[in-house]
Amino acid sequence: MLTTAPRGTRDILPEEAAQWQYVESNIRQCCLLYGYGEIRPPLFEHTELFLRSVGETTDIVEKEMYTFRDRGGRNITLRPEATASTVRAYLEHNLYAGPQPVKMYYLGPMFRYDRPQAGRYRQFSQFGIEAIGTQDPTMDAEVISVALDFYCRLGLTGLEVQLNSIGCPKCRQDYRQALLNYLSQHRGQLCRTCLSRLDRNPLRVLDCKEEGCQAITADAPRMLTYLCSECDEHFKAVQECLQSIEAHYVINPALVRGLDYYTKTVFEIVWPGLGAQAAICGGGRYDGLIEECGGPSTPAVGFAMGLDRVLLAIQKAGAAVPAAKTPLAYVVALSAADNQEAFRILTRLRRADIISDKDYRQTSLRAQLKAADRSRARYAVLVGGIERTQGMVAVRNMTTGEQHEIPLDQLITFLQEGR
RNA sequence: GUGAAUGUAGCUCAGUUGGUUAGAGCACCAGAUUGUGGCUCUGGGGGUCGCGGGUUCGAAUCCCGUCAUUCACCCCA
């Protein structure tokens, strides 16, 4: 226990962290380009916020939340997603009073008590964006476009955008009733979990993978034919926007999504190489959520993207990640008596912004050079011997093996010119 | 939450029907080379066989529990 991270958590060690930093820097560039400002909400919130926003009957709320009472007796939950926090912050800081829409992004860990497997963790990282304050279909298209541009920057290809509209509360209610009537007639052929879905959330029967259920839902009424004129027009406009920017998508009428707050546009982006956990990004419009949380009626749209899965995908796809920066110089002490002088020179190099290192083991010249080689430093700087008495160091080019003495006071200039 | 598979050195894996001191390759450290890395050779360190219990004269091997990982279901990111 003492030497094992809790189930579903893991350490990201320096080698992998470099890949994360690369991905994160692309996120920040992308958001800058599209005009999204960063929001850093707390990692935990009042439990009530998630109950209200995510929905009481969702899997997240029913079985996946890390909930506890703090020492002051407050009911607290580690955030399972960040849209709720973003909306809360929008209201808490009266952002609706400023220019609309408010476009924000977030980046960081989320927590869900779920059974871990490849691409699924109890602490996982999401990048998400939210555009609050407009129902313009170009906003929906922009949100999808941000995700696609981001994948493009990473060199990730072979993604599929699945798109659907689940309407507004008005037309969805009509559809829900029609679907319920239809499914009730075929009650006997539904699987056990779908039977329980019937009263709670019949739309979810649509994406059941059981063969029997699929046979029935194949002929079920379609949401898209029940959309009211406003929702229908909006959905068509979103599609036209996507087509106009050559963003490819497929319509998946079975796409429902597991959170209660979605309205109109919903989408998922899938990278098939990830197997069972192939959904790499999911999002949609949530025109009712802000009001539900006690604010003015305000439309909004956003997505959340699983970065652990993005990392898995670029690793599996072999997408290029820039090579880690290696030291320019590796300082070597010829004898133990030169160790302190080597350290002094090393410090001067670092103060001159030269990436550099040394061996800290007080070991043989041979071992130090081996370490220099392994650090993939461009030069080894050898300190000691007669050179030291002459105010010189030996600089060895680790690629060519060439070596020559240069005066200590010219070392920094030499290294700066050499890079 | 349900079902299944797996767990031996830092990594990848051997380990016979239960039988003496549990092995290999790679990696690591040192020497060959007393002021010079990569290649080669030689040597060395490193294991509570995931953990706990049971069966047995004897368990890495068989049984039970537990923890972890992976896969499927569920769900999503």
Contacts of A169 (CB under 8 A, 6+ apart): A263, A288
Average pLDDT over residues A224-241: 96
User: What is residue A1's predicted lDDT score, i.e. its pLDDT?
Assistant: 63
Contacts 24+ apart (CB under 8 A), A243-250: A245/A141, A245/A145, A247/A141, A247/A144, A247/A145, A247/A148, A247/A161, A248/A161, A249/A144, A249/A161, A249/A162, A249/A163, A250/A160, A250/A161, A250/A162, A250/A163
Query: Which tokens in the block code for residue A199?
Result: 């009263």
How much is the mean pLDDT over chain A? Answer: 92
Contact criterion met (CB below 8 Å) for A96 and A133: yes
Query: A119-132: string of b/e by CB count within 10 Å (b at 16+)?
Result: bbbbbbbbbbbbbb
Q: How far apart are CA A27 and CA A34, in angstroms?
A: 11
Average pLDDT over residues A152-171: 93
pLDDT at A201 over 80: no
Q: From the CA of A55, how many Å to the C1' of B66?
A: 36
**DSSP codes joined into one string, A140-174:** HHHHHHHHHHHHHHHT----EEEEEE---HHHHHH
Give the closest residue to B71 (Cα–C1′): A117
Give the closest residue to B51 (Cα–C1′): A1
Contact criterion met (CB below 8 Å) for A197 and A135: no
pLDDT at A224 over 60: yes
Query: For residue A418, what is the enclosing H or E element?
Result: helix A411-418
The predicted-structure confidence for A373-396, as pLDDT tens digits, reads as follows 999 999 999 999 999 999 999 999
Q: Looking at per-residue confidence, does A374 or A319 come out higher?
A: A374
Burial (0-12, 13-18, 19+ Cβ within 10 Å), A39: buried
User: What is residue A276's predicted lDDT score, i.e. its pLDDT?
Assistant: 83
The DSSP symbol for A277 reads G
Give the closest residue to B2 (Cα–C1′): A115
Strand B and chain A: which residues 213-232 have CB closer than 7 Å? Answer: none
Q: Looking at per-residue confidence, does A10 or A300 come out higher?
A: A300
Question: Does residue A399 sit in helix, strand or coil?
Answer: coil
Of the candidates A157, A187, A164, A169, the one whose C-alpha atom is nearest the C-alpha of residue A316 is A157
Q: Looking at per-residue confidence, does A380 or A258 come out higher?
A: A380
Q: How far apart are CA A379 and CA A31, in angstroms?
A: 38
Nucleic acid strand B: bases within 7 A of protein CB: 1-2, 28-31, 33, 35-38, 67-77
User: What is residue A176's predicted lDDT score, i.e. its pLDDT?
Assistant: 87
User: What is residue A352's predicted lDDT score, i.e. its pLDDT?
Assistant: 97
The predicted-structure confidence for A18-59, as pLDDT tens digits, reads as follows 899 999 999 999 999 999 999 999 999 999 999 999 988 888
Minimum-distance nucleotide, CA of A365 to C1': B36
pLDDT at A399 over 70: yes
Q: Is the CB of A15 under 7 A from strand B?
A: no
The DSSP symbol for A58 reads S
pLDDT at A303 over 80: yes
User: What is residue A393's predicted lDDT score, i.e. its pLDDT?
Assistant: 97
Minimum-distance nucleotide, CA of A396 to C1': B36
Minimum-distance nucleotide, CA of A388 to C1': B35
Q: Is the CB of A362 under 7 A from strand B?
A: no
Beta-bridge mates of residue A394:
A382, A405
Strand B and chain A: which residues 386-415 have CB closer than 7 Å? Answer: 386-387, 394, 396, 398-401, 403
| Residue A381, CA atoms < 13 Å, CB-side half-sphere | 32
Contact criterion met (CB below 8 Å) for A168 and A264: yes
Q: From the CA of A3, how many Å to the C1' of B66?
A: 17
Strand B and chain A: which residues 107-146 have CB closer than 7 Å? Answer: 112, 114-121, 124, 126
Domains with residue ranges and CATH for chain A: 14-168+228-317 (3.30.930.10), 329-417 (3.40.50.800)
Question: CA-CA distances (angstroms) from residue A343 to A244, A331, A338, A403?
Answer: 60, 8, 9, 21
Q: Looking at per-residue confidence, does A61 or A126 come out higher?
A: A126
Q: How far apart are CA A323 and CA A21, in angstroms?
A: 12
Q: From the CA of A117, how many Å to the C1' of B5?
A: 14
User: What is residue A165's predicted lDDT score, i.e. its pLDDT?
Assistant: 95
Q: Is the CB of A367 under 7 A from strand B?
A: yes
pLDDT at A419 over 60: no
Query: A350-363: string of b/e by CB count within 10 Å (b at 16+)?
Result: eeeebebbbbeeee
The predicted-structure confidence for A109-125, as pLDDT tens digits, reads as follows 999 999 888 889 999 99
Of the candidates A205, A210, A183, the one whose C-alpha atom is nearest the C-alpha of residue A194 is A205
Q: From the CA of A4, how many Å to the C1' of B7?
A: 15
Beta-bridge mates of residue A156:
none
Backbone angles phi, psi at A121, to 5 degrees: -130, 165
| pLDDT tier for residue A199 given thresholds of 50, 70 and 90 | confident
Q: Is the CB of A272 under 7 A from strand B?
A: no
The predicted-structure confidence for A66-83, as pLDDT tens digits, reads as follows 999 999 999 999 999 999
The predicted-structure confidence for A166-189, as pLDDT tens digits, reads as follows 999 888 888 888 888 888 888 877
The predicted-structure confidence for A320-358, as pLDDT tens digits, reads as follows 788 888 999 999 999 999 999 999 999 999 999 999 999
Contact criterion met (CB below 8 Å) for A59 and A124: no
Contact criterion met (CB below 8 Å) for A146 and A305: no
Q: From the CA of A16, how many Å to the C1' of B24?
A: 30
